[in-house]
Amino acid sequence: METREFDVVIVGGGLVGASLACLLVPQGRSVALVDAGSGPVPLTADPRKLALAAASLDTLAALGVLSRLPVPPTPIRRLHVSREGDFGQLRCEAAELGREAFGGVVLAGELGAALEQALTALPGLVRVRGRAEADGVDGGGRRLRVLPEGRPAETWQARLVVAADGSASPLRGAAGIEVARHDYGQTLIVTSARLSAAPEGTAFERFTDHGPCALLPMAGGRHGALCGVATAETSAVLALDDAGYSAYFQRRFGWRAGRVLEVGARSAWPLHRVVAARLVAERLVLVGNAAQTLHPIGAQGFNLGLRDALTLAGLLRGAADPGADALLAAYAEARREDREATLALSDGLARATAGTSPLHRLGRSLGFAALNLDAGLRARFLTGAMGYRPGVPRAAEVLA
């Protein structure tokens, strides 16, 4: 069987894998993308609402993806964060930082469709729908057994294989990379909602004893409505009719955005934390959910994965050997600070906001007070949340 050779093979055609392909092909490398179908739904049918950080919007604009969206991202101009039963709340305006918005909200399926169009326009990209299995390392390359849909198996060799194949990542497992797992015991229910008094451009995060709730501004006066539900209660909550779920969300979220007038179709997403013990193996690198799967608090999952892709693409630009040990070690080190900080923020918020003791409540209230009173501290927090992190190149630099 003839072996096909590539500089880089990306396994996993989700949002991060597709974005990485868009970053690498313009560098002139031979790139293949194996859409392993690892996601729970097709890329273009994903019903989730994504809060994209400003830095992520910059990247997607540079890649020509945002211009392909049927509806532009809905700007997040202000944040409103509170915790049921706690004193105080956090209110922030993007104008404080001289910005029009902290980021924007898109439908994941629409972003997926825009990335599909961008992939189709990439000259020279080899794309296969099917699966890829690890088949060993042979000196200057890593072998893969590729099983395209409806075609005989093929043998590929790549100087670098990128595992973008999701939380379960078969490639990560085949490389013997261990993971730390945590089940939050919750399911995130995602829908859209229309409310009577939701201010335009405001994103709400409301923490409760039963889990987080959030409202994200969307086009047409609607909001993405996200609600964490205990795993044992998920089936009963999903069984509610629209009126029943509207009342349920109202009880959980409160009245700060007015009355819940209408809700749309609902989908459910179990909440787990999966963190790889290391990001690289011989001629293999992990990105996106294969590297780390986060709690959705703070909306950092895809934003962090896109920074993985940017960092890797920046290091590969001009590199003689994309899979060299020194380059992969540099990638792991370059991602360390941002990754550790984001993991700590996501998991820390999930755990800290769940506590109900007086000490937890006092600590959270003091935290709100500190962020409200210290403009410098608030600015550092918000700049990080916007995705502008040291050591992460801009897309324009990677594509130049």
Whether residue 126 is contained in a domain is answered as yes
Whether 153 is covered by a domain: the verdict is yes
pLDDT of residue 45: 65
Higher confidence at residue 86 or residue 316? Answer: 316
**Averaged over 151-173, what is the pLDDT?**
95
* Residue ranges making up the domain that contains 145: 3-73+107-180+273-356+387-399
Is 34 a member of any domain?
yes
Percent of the chain topping pLDDT 70: 88
For residue 257, tell me if it sits in a domain.
no
Query: CATH no. for residue 166?
Result: 3.50.50.60
| Nearest Cα residue to 117 out of 73, 74, 67 | 67
- Residue 372: pLDDT band with limits 50, 70, 90: low
| pLDDT tier for residue 163 given thresholds of 50, 70 and 90 | very high
Q: Which two tokens stand for residue 30?
A: 């031979």
Tokens at residue 294, please? Answer: 């986060």
200-224 pLDDT, tens per residue? 999 998 888 888 899 999 988 899 9
- Per-residue three-class SS string for the chain: CCEEEEEEEEECCCHHHHHHHHHHHHHCCCEEEEECCCCCCCHHHCCCEEEEEHHHHHHHHHCCCHHHCCCCCEEECEEEEEECCCCCEEEEEHHHHCCCCCEEEEEHHHHHHHHHHHHHCCCCCEEEEEEEEEEEEECCEEEEEEEECCCCCEEEEEEEEEECCCCCCHHHHHCCCCEEEEEEEEEEEEEEEEECCCCCCEEEEEEECCEEEEEEECHHHCEEEEEEEEHHHHHHHHCCCHHHHHHHHHHHHCCCCCCEEEECCCEEEEEEEEEECCCEECCEEECHHHCEECCCCCCCHHHHHHHHHHHHHHHHCCCCCCCCHHHHHHHHHHHHHHHHHHHHHHHHHHHHCCCCCHHHHHHHHHHHHHHHHCHHHHHHHHHHHCCCCCCCCCHHHHHC
Counting residues of the chain whose pLDDT is more than 90, the rounded percentage is 64
Evaluate if residue 87 carries a pLDDT over 70. Answer: no
Segment 373-392, tens digit of pLDDT: 667 777 777 777 788 888 88
Has residue 352 got a pLDDT over 60? Answer: no
Q: What is the number of domains present in the chain?
A: 1
pLDDT at position 238:
96
| Arithmetic mean of pLDDT over the chain | 88
Q: Is the pLDDT of residue 68 over 80?
A: yes
Domain assignment of residue 140, yes or no: yes
Instruction: Tell me the C-alpha to C-alpha distance, in Å, between residue 95 and each of 77, 79, 289, 394.
Output: 8, 11, 32, 22
CA 30 → CA 24, 159, 163, 325, distances in Å? 9, 10, 17, 20
Above 90 in pLDDT, residue 399? Answer: no
Q: Does residue 78 fall inside a structural domain?
A: no
CA distance 290 to 299: 17
Q: What is the mean pLDDT of residues 55-77?
A: 95
Q: What's residue 368's pLDDT?
A: 62
Averaged pLDDT, 230-253: 96
> What's the pLDDT score for residue 210?
81
Q: What is the pLDDT of residue 380?
A: 76
Tokens linked to 198? 């939701």
Q: Which of 137-141, 174-178, 378-382 has the lowest mean pLDDT?
A: 378-382
Among 36-45, 48-57, 67-76, 91-100, which stretch is predicted with the lowest mean pLDDT?
Answer: 36-45
pLDDT for 299:
66
Q: In whole angstroms, give the CA distance from residue 65 to residue 59.
A: 9
Asked if residue 268 is part of any domain, the answer here is no
- pLDDT bucket at 362, cuts 50 / 70 / 90: low
Residue whose entry in the numeric block shows the structure tokens 């920046």: 314
Asked if the structure places residue 327 within a domain, the reply is yes
Q: Are strands 202-208 and 78-83 parallel, antiparallel or unpaired?
A: parallel
Beta 141-148 vs 126-138: how paired, if at all? Answer: antiparallel
